[in-house]
Structure 1
Amino acid sequence: MEEQRTPGPSASGGPPPWWRHGPSGWQGPPGWHRGDDQERRARRPWRSTLLLTVFVFVGSSFASQAQEGERAALDLFARALLFVGCGLLLWRQRYPVPVAFGTAAAAMLYLGAGYPYGPVFLTVALGCFSAIVTGHRRAAWAAVGMLWAGHVLVAHWLYRWLPPSGDTPAAWGQEVVVATWIVAIVALSELVRVRREQWARDRTERAQAAKRRADEERLRMARELHDVLAHSISVINVQAGVGLALLDSDPEQARTALTTIKAASKEALGEVRQVLDTLRAPGEAPRAPAPGLDRLSELVEQAAGAGLTVEMRGTAPKLPPGTDLAAFRIIQEALTNVVRHSGSRHARVLVERAEGALRLRIDDDGPATGEDAGGSGNGLAGMRERAAALGGTIEAGPRDDGGFRVLAVLPLKVKEDR
């Protein structure tokens, strides 16, 4: 991916000139403000400028022949002015404001010297067009206004002292035509500027939306890994303690603890591998279905392996995959917290449908041991994030009788059987 650079300070140590980078917050098309001189030279519009120069010189020659006797013939000075006006367009992307004024000044000198009307106006049109689309609207308007005012002075007052000799004042209708062309150029330039700004906003919004999706996906993966690892490692930790304590006195019970550790670690590795596969190949279908409330019996068995008796009540309705996964992870994390932070070895889980929502209630009798179970750890934060993502709520805190309760309410959309 090409590195995006922002304009740096000028060589003198101060901020970049205002006329180089346009209004505050406007960065122009990608690649216009590179710091690398070689890239800047490579991006100069050589081909279009060369084609325009050829057209201006050829067209001015034909215009000189058509206006012979009315305007001064093209000479070396006229061609030099045409060449300057065209040559300035090479820098119209880097320095749009000086180019706009430079082309207008060259055209004004060209007309003031009495040379024939013709494609010289194209250099001004392109210079001012570039200034407007890069955000320098006032400078472009000032440049074309300067040219028009200079033309009015030359055509209606200064013509007496300027070539060609014997010239007469121009008709005012001609000024209307010139003003109409100027308005058309400005209007077209403004239209292009508005479209480019809209495209830039659309690109920015798409980039921000993609970043939000990536952040949400990373957060979802982090929650999945936390829930899987926290639960499995809690079970493994408890069973490892049991195995160590009974290794000599009750080898058979120690063997059972080791078997539970093996099963819990195998399941954890499988779920972690599934999450990592999703990270490596985003968009592909998962190899195994995401866990849901249909696996609550497995969760109860794992909790029993950690010495926790779980009493299940209620029947879960059919749920969308996202809600099903969130409900499973919330119950899993709540039971993990009981194992880690509660002195109680008994927990009650209630799953019920109430008022168009799925209610999950997980209770234990306490008391709390070690860290405060009501703290703001990642477990409770992850449960709240899961519920909030579905438009639900989580309430977690100590009960009046000394235990702890987690109450989750998730919006429910039951799939109707047909």
Structure 2
Amino acid sequence: MRSIRLTRMDWRDPAFAAGLTLFLVIGTPLVPRGQGIEIQLDPLGYTLLIVSGLTLAFRRVAPTAVLAVTSLATIVYYYFAYPGFFQPSAALVSLYTVAALGARWTALVSGAALCAGLLLISFRPAGLPDRQAFDGPLWVGGWFAAVIVAAETARQRKAYLNEVEQRAVDALRTKEEAAKLRATEERLRIARELHDSLTHAISLVNAQINVAAHLFDRDPDRSRTALFAVKDASKQAMGELRSALEVLRHDDEPERPHSLRQLPDLVKASEQQGVAVKVTVSGDSPAVSQHVDLAAYRIVQESLTNAARHSRASTVSVDVRYDYDKVTVRIEDDGEADSSSVVREGVGIRGMRERVAALGGEFEVGPRPTRGFAVKAVLPLGRSEDDNGGTA
């Protein structure tokens, strides 16, 4: 049997109980006596009417107890043959409350017990003739059945509305969480772009400034060349920063021109820092999606920057191999790292790993068996935006 969900008393319940009590006390004496066996209302009759009505003030706090009191008052009322047919209304209200709160079987059993009690009263020696004995119980029983059905319908409707409301709340929460996740991913993407691009340019500026300062007096021509390299690097940094700011100003991501086709520019920038770069490209270059092309470019860029800043390498090899369904990028340097070196993943390596993971690829980083450092990224090929429906 389902338990009843109790609630706190509402100010409307005492107000309703007082109104119904007033109606019973005033309206019952005005009803004409139908069968001629009813007696006039006396103090006990009025007491039963008042108790039945006022008890409803607690119908939400103690619904089962209120149902028992109103049902017992109804049986006693008709046992003494008091007049009127308004008195069962209090029992009907309490029965509706019990059923609406979820105790359907409690309401059914209580209603059946009340009808049985009224039926027994009808067969008492001073009662109605046999042919009319069932009129009262059937009349009350019909109302009880209608009340239980109405209460169950209202309860089911309320449960349905609560479920719909909860689904709406869950959908809104899911939408907000998805929006927060997209915002977080976008911030991380912008952070990676700023780090990969600006770090490379600033590293180049720092190296060329040192060269210019060191050769300012001894070799003005080389110093001037280094300053021009600083100018180009700073211009590149300004372009990268402007591109990142465009993402923040507009909803649509601006077109990013960086791709593996610009490897010669990265090689030139690295050689200006004193690092010789050897590039090898093998396989047929298919139409690569913009995201894969950009990720590969940034991985090469970050690796060259790390080779110049941290590895103290003099030579770096960049191997790009195109296969049917993937592109493999491998960058190796001849820096100071050896097989016992520990990889400390900073922002740059973590950014490369995130880029590869976002595309569903594979990423490896660590010292080479002999000497130097190696970075390997395997990126699955995606559909190119320039390829009209073709398969990359």
| Normalised TM-score (structure 1) | 0.65
Q: What SS class does the counterpart of residue 182 from structure 1 fall into? A: helix
Larger CA deviation: 189-198 vs 336-345: 189-198
| Corresponding position: 1:363 with 2:323 | no
Give yes or no for contact 1:148–1:178 (8 Å, CA) kept in 2: no
Distance 2:50 2:363 in 1: 80
| Corresponding position: 1:345 with 2:314 | yes
Distance 1:356 1:375 in 2: 31
Structure 2 residue corresponding to 1:296, chosen from 248, 253, 263: 263
2:86 — aligned with what?
Answer: 115
Letter in 1 for 2:276: T
Give yes or no for contact 2:6–2:62 (8 Å, CA) kept in 1: no
Q: What SS class does the counterpart of residue 258 from structure 2 fall into? A: coil
Distance 1:69 1:195 in 2: 50
Question: How many Å apart are 1:397 and its aligned residue?
Answer: 1.4
Distance 2:54 2:258 in 1: 74
Written as runs of structure 1 = structure 2, the 5 A alignment for 1:140-219 is: 140-142=101-103, 151-157=111-117, 170-171=137-138, 172=141, 174-219=143-188
Larger CA deviation: 351-360 vs 147-156: 147-156
Unaligned runs of 5+ in 2: 75-84, 122-126
2:78 — aligned with what?
Answer: none
Q: What SS class does the counterpart of residue 236 from structure 2 fall into? A: helix
Q: What SS class does the counterpart of residue 310 from structure 1 fall into? A: strand
Question: How many Å apart are 1:276 and its aligned residue?
Answer: 2.4
Written as runs of structure 1 = structure 2, the 5 A alignment for 1:275-354 is: 275-281=244-250, 283-286=251-254, 289-314=256-281, 316-354=285-323
Letter in 2 for 1:141: G
Give yes or no for contact 2:208–2:230 (8 Å, CA) kept in 1: yes
Task: Identify if the C-alpha distance between structure 1 residues 310 and 68 changes in structure 2 by more than 3 Å, giving closer, same or farther.
Answer: farther
| Corresponding position: 1:395 with 2:364 | yes
Unaligned runs of 5+ in 1: 1-17, 22-44, 89-97, 130-139
Q: What SS class does the counterpart of residue 274 from structure 2 fall into? A: coil
Deviations 1:199-223 (A, max 9, x none): 2332232222222212211211111
Give yes or no for contact 1:338–1:364 (8 Å, CA) kept in 2: yes
Q: What SS class does the counterpart of residue 102 from structure 2 fall into? A: helix
Distance 1:342 1:293 in 2: 23
Q: What SS class does the counterpart of residue 314 from structure 1 fall into? A: strand
Q: What SS class does the counterpart of residue 248 from structure 1 fall into? A: coil
Deviations 1:253-278 (A, max 9, x none): 22222222222122112212221231
Across the two proteins, how many residue pairs are aligned to each other? 340
Q: What SS class does the counterpart of residue 408 from structure 1 fall into? A: strand
Letter in 1 for 2:86: Y
1:35 — aligned with what?
Answer: none
Letter in 2 for 1:229: L
Higher-RCO chain (CA-CA 8 Å, sequence separation at least 6): 2
Give yes or no for contact 1:314–1:350 (8 Å, CA) kept in 2: yes
Question: How many Å apart are 1:392 and its aligned residue?
Answer: 0.3
Written as runs of structure 1 = structure 2, the 5 A alignment for 1:4-43 is: none
Question: How many Å apart are 1:99 and its aligned residue?
Answer: 7.8
Written as runs of structure 1 = structure 2, the 5 A alignment for 1:364-379 is: 364-368=333-337, 374-379=343-348
Larger CA deviation: 146-155 vs 360-369: 146-155
Q: What SS class does the counterpart of residue 349 from structure 1 fall into? A: strand
Question: How many Å apart are 1:190 and its aligned residue?
Answer: 2.8
Question: How many Å apart are 1:406 and its aligned residue?
Answer: 1.0
Task: Say what the alpha-carbon RMSD is for the aligned residues.
Answer: 4.4
Higher Cα Rg, which structure: 2
Distance 1:150 1:312 in 2: 90
Give yes or no for contact 2:292–2:382 (8 Å, CA) kept in 1: no
1:5 — aligned with what?
Answer: none
1:24 — aligned with what?
Answer: none
Distance 2:196 2:149 in 1: 70
Distance 2:32 2:299 in 1: 90
Question: How many Å apart are 1:375 and its aligned residue?
Answer: 1.8
1:222 — aligned with what?
Answer: 191
Give yes or no for contact 2:277–2:316 (8 Å, CA) kept in 1: yes
Task: Identify if the C-alpha distance between structure 1 residues 360 and 401 changes in structure 2 by more than 3 Å, giving closer, same or farther.
Answer: same
Letter in 2 for 1:170: P
Distance 1:292 1:78 in 2: 90
Larger CA deviation: 263-272 vs 102-111: 102-111
Letter in 2 for 1:242: V
2:208 — aligned with what?
Answer: 239
Distance 2:342 2:207 in 1: 17
Written as runs of structure 1 = structure 2, the 5 A alignment for 1:244-263 is: 244-263=213-232
